[in-house]
Amino acid sequence: MQLHLSERALKILAKEKIKDAKVTDKELVDVYEEILSVVNKHFELYDISKFRQKLNEGLELFKELPIYNVYESNKIKQVGKFEVLNRILIGLHANAMRTDLKVLGIKVNLGQMQVKGGIKLSPDAKLIYQSPTGIFSRAVRVKDLG
Local confidence band at 112 (pLDDT 50, 70, 90 cut-offs): low
List, in order, residues 6 or more apart from 126 with CB less than 8 Å away.
139, 140, 141, 142
Local confidence band at 96 (pLDDT 50, 70, 90 cut-offs): low
Q: What is the mean pLDDT of the chain?
A: 86
User: Is 90 exceeded by the pLDDT of residue 29?
Assistant: yes
Q: Domain map of the chain by residue range?
A: 7-110
So what's the pLDDT on residue 94?
63
CA-CA distance, 24 to 31, in Å (whole number)?
A: 11
Distances (CA, A) of 52 to 56, 63, 95, 101, 111: 6, 17, 18, 13, 11
Alpha helices, H only, the chain = 7-14, 25-42, 51-57, 59-63, 81-92
